């Protein structure tokens, strides 16, 4: 699921995703445009409690850049990126909406009526337009108002929105200030000094350069500032997680979040790059689960696991080693068998009346078992040197 709000109904890939996209309905008397209800636009969200934390602001900035990247990758420029056109759900998932290719690309700098009519419908005089979009009547450079938009124009607008995001809702430019900046009579870096993070200031200043050819693409900013301004876990982990939760029925998101993710064959995309995973209080299905060879530590606690004999677990996590495999109060098992050649430490906590476990782990060194009755255990672990068995009577 992409962040950009899609307008074309026929391109919707599945019925699940139709509910969050726009829909056009025309009758003989009227036309209706329907779309998902959104909690806020970004302008309103910045003044709504609870106020955004630093990491939430970075998350929204990342999503905005990602949405612009998706749009530009498809050859579409927005033309009117501003806080009012950035829509935010109650769980901080961002949509870039109201694409404005129909608006003039260039407007006269000495006639504010065009700016007010097309780009300042709220009357707040905030300006997100790239300075090259303002032209002089009779100037040396002749432009056509319907000339195509350029991606660099959107990047300037994104810089203004991100600046406003980190300036607690204070705009970087009003129209008069942008005209002064265009003439070299205003330095936005002084205004940006209110942002404590120097990396964010540097990124914004690069986006709002007067020379449009000096601005980078949205994809370039995502790559350059990953790990510097934007935490590395935003992509692919967090963005993929939200993307796969988004089309799921809201009730299912709450009731069986892990099961929903796994059944969408997406779990491997989220953690294949990680080496540790903890799953707690979930209902976990392993259907269509792809191998995760990078994973070396797994904890499954208070979870129903639909893998009675742990066959899929053995296949999908072949390199569990170094730290530990923990199975704590896992339901749904029947004569589980752990067959992991690289496993070195295992902890098993079981509260069933007749526990049983088979371990074929040639490199296992440490084994801890906690249960309520004496378990039936078959162990093939020649390297085992630390074995702890705890039987707590109910």
Mean pLDDT by 10 residues, the chain (394 residues): 39 37 80 84 94 96 96 95 95 92 91 91 90 80 79 98 97 96 95 95 98 97 93 84 74 56 42 60 70 76 78 77 63 82 85 76 89 82 90 69
pLDDT, residue 121, reads 80
How far is 281 from 123, CA to CA, in rounded Å?
A: 50
pTM of the predicted model over 0.85: no
- The dihedral through the CA atoms of 116, 122, 127, 132 has a sign that is negative
List residues with catalytic annotation: 80
Task: Give the Cα separation of 260 and 258 in Å (integer).
Answer: 5
Q: Looking at residue 92, what is its pLDDT? A: 93
Q: What is the pLDDT of residue 252?
A: 63
Tell me what pLDDT residue 139 has.
60
The pairing of beta strand 283-285 with beta strand 276-280: unpaired
What was the pLDDT predicted at 3?
A: 52
The pLDDT assigned to 6 comes to: 36
Q: Is 63 exposed, middle or buried (0-12, 13-18, 19+ CB in 10 A)?
A: buried
**CATH class of segment(s) 9-234:** mainly alpha
Query: In angstroms, rounded to a whole number, what is the distance separating the alpha carbons of residues 361 and 373?
Result: 23
Return the pLDDT at 207: 98
The CA–CA distances, whole Å, from 377 to 69, 142, 212 equal 55, 84, 69
> Contact 201/172 with Cβ under 8 angstroms?
no
Sorted by where each begins, the domain ranges of the chain are 9-234, 251-391
For position 201, what pLDDT does the model report? 97
């Amino acid at each position: 699921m992409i962040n950009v709000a899609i307008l074309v109904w026929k391109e919707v890939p599945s019925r699940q995703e139709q509910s969050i996209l726009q829909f056009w309905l025309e009758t003989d008397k009227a036309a209706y445009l329907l779309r998902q209800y959104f909690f806020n636009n970004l302008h309103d969200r910045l003044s709504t409690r609870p106020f955004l934390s630093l990491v939430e602001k970075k998350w929204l900035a990342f999503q905005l850049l990602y949405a612009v990247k998706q749009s530009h990758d498809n050859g579409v420029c927005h033309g009117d990126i501003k806080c009012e056109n950035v829509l935010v759900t109650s769980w901080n998932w961002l949509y870039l909406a109201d694409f404005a290719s129909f608006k003039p690309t260039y407007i006269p700098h000495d006639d504010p009526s065009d700016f007010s009519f097309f780009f300042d419908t709220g009357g707040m005089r905030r300006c997100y337009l790239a300075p090259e979009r303002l032209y002089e009547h009779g100037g040396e450079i002749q432009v056509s108002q319907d000339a195509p938009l350029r991606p660099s124009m959107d990047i300037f607008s994104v810089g203004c929105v991100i600046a406003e995001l980190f300036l607690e809702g204070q705009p970087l430019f009003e129209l008069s200030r942008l005209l002064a900046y265009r003439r070299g009579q205003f330095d936005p870096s002084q205004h940006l000094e209110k942002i404590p993070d120097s990396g964010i200031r540097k990124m914004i200043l690069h986006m709002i350069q007067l020379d449009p050819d000096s601005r980078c693409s949205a994809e370039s900013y995502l790559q350059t500032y990953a790990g510097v301004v934007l935490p590395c876990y935003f992509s692919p982990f967090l963005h993929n997680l939200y993307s796969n939760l988004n089309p799921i029925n809201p009730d299912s998101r709450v009731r069986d979040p892990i099961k929903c993710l796994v059944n969408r064959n997406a779990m491997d995309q989220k953690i294949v790059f990680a080496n540790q995973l903890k799953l707690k209080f979930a209902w976990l299905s392993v259907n269509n689960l792809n191998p995760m060879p990078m994973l070396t530590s797994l904890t499954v606690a208070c979870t129903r696991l639909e893998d009675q004999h742990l066959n899929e677990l053995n296949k999908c996590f072949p390199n569990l080693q170094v730290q530990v495999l923990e199975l704590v109060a896992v339901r749904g098992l029947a004569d589980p068998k752990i067959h992991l050649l690289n496993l070195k430490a295992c902890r098993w906590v079981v509260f069933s009346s007749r526990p049983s476990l088979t371990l074929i782990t040639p490199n296992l060194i440490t084994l801890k078992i906690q249960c309520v009755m004496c378990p039936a255990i078959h162990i093939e672990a020649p390297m085992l040197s630390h074995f702890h068995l705890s039987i707590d009577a109910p």
